[in-house]
Amino acid sequence: MHSNDRQLKDVIKELIDTYRLNDGLNEAKIIGSWESVVGKMIANHTEKLRISNGKLFVRLDSPAVKNELMYARGKLLKSLNETVGKDVIKEIIFL
């Protein structure tokens, strides 16, 4: 019975890899970690987050917050990717 559990685990992993579901899961984790990475104040000024082709699009309601985040872009990119343990996001675009 224990070997069947292992086989099922392998099949599930293979399905996830085949259908590239890990990409979507990692993107969801990054979006879900936004508030913990940037803090509540900045999260409150965030209107929308979207990931497409390795780019994180961040819509903000404050030019001052946008300016602040532009200076911290590299650190923010690193922190977000660390939440999933791989480089999912290659670029952050503030809107």
Domain boundaries, the chain: 2-94
* Class level of CATH domain 2-94: alpha beta
What is the reported pTM?
0.77
- Rounded distance, CA 45 to CA 1, Å? 51
Backbone torsions φ then ψ of 23, nearest 5 degrees: -60, -50
Per-residue pLDDT of the chain (95 residues; tens, 9 = 90+): 455 666 888 877 777 666 666 677 888 999 999 999 999 999 999 999 999 999 999 999 999 999 999 999 999 999 999 998 889 899 999 99
